[in-house]
């Protein structure tokens, strides 16, 4: 019965999440209530998972999932174009479905793990989260007068949790994961703190930070897999550098 409920929630959950985001766009003044529903939705889903599997890792995945849904939630509040909101809401809800499905297959070690690998899923999702998180916090600081120190603190905490879960599948030693996640978060928060005051488009700054996150994540994962070589370091360095150069050359400075 519990297994059937979990399978049902994996599909219905993203549909409910989609409905919440649509309701948020039309009734944004009730955003606290909508946010409470998002949080409760994840709590219910992962509580059932924990009752079924009894693994502490469920709660680590819960934190990652909660960050995913909340970051997407607040990003909706910053969008004003109706078409963009609809497209983003649909895509983000679908990605949420993929995330829940990959988590289920990971915990249950199903054959579908080969097709929906949680390691690969979190790889791409973490990169997107890095961009949206950076954009949202910079936007709040610039236009809503969100305190810069609080923006940096929030960024550090979230990016640490995201990085920890990102590296979780490459090493079973939590101390190593914490160390690499902390180093990644510290380096990124330094770049975030500097770029926070750059007179340049928020989108450009967010892309630059995301590229840096991509580079650092690649270096850490290659290290954990013991595949880090000079050629790969050079490859990722050149690729990341070229993207940043192209972005800066095409950016609008104010």
For residue range 191-210, list pLDDT tens digits in order: 998 888 887 788 888 999 99
Mean pLDDT value of segment 236-251: 85
Q: Among 199, 208, 241, which residue's Cα sits nearest to residue 131?
A: 208
The Cα 12–Cα 14 span in angstroms is 6
The Cα 116–Cα 183 span in angstroms is 29
Q: What does pTM read for this prediction?
A: 0.90
Confidence of residue 115 (pLDDT cuts 50, 70, 90): low
CA 172, 173, 176, 179 dihedral sign is positive
For residue range 27-63, list pLDDT tens digits in order: 888 899 999 999 999 999 999 888 887 788 889 999 9
The Cα 149–Cα 202 span in angstroms is 18
Tokens in use for 155? 């960024």
The Cα 51–Cα 47 span in angstroms is 6
């Amino acid at each position: 019965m519990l297994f059937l409920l979990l399978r049902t929630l994996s599909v219905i959950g993203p549909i409910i999440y989609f409905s919440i985001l649509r309701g948020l766009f039309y009734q944004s003044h009730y955003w606290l209530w909508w946010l409470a529903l998002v949080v409760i939705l994840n709590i219910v889903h992962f509580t059932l998972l924990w009752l079924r599997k009894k693994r502490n890792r469920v709660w680590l995945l819960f934190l990652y999932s909660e960050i995913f849904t909340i970051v997407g939630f607040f990003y909706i509040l910053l969008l004003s174009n109706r078409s963009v909101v609809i497209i983003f809401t649909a895509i983000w809800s679908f990605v949420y479905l993929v995330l829940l499905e990959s988590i289920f297959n990971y915990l249950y070690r199903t054959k579908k793990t080969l097709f929906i690998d949680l390691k690969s899923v979190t790889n791409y999702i973490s990169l997107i989260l890095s961009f949206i998180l950076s954009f949202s916090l910079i936007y709040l600081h610039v236009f809503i007068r969100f305190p810069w120190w609080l923006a940096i603190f929030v960024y550090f905490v979230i990016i640490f949790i995201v990085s920890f879960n990102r590296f979780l599948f490459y090493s079973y030693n939590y101390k190593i994961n914490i160390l690499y996640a902390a180093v990644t978060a510290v380096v990124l928060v330094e770049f975030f703190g500097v770029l926070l005051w750059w007179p340049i488009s928020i989108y450009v700054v967010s892309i630059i930070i995301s590229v840096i996150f991509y580079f650092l994540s690649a270096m850490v994962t290659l290290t954990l897999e013991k595949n880090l070589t000079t050629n790969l370091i050079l490859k990722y360095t050149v690729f990341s550098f070229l993207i940043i150069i192209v972005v800066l050359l095409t950016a609008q400075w104010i």
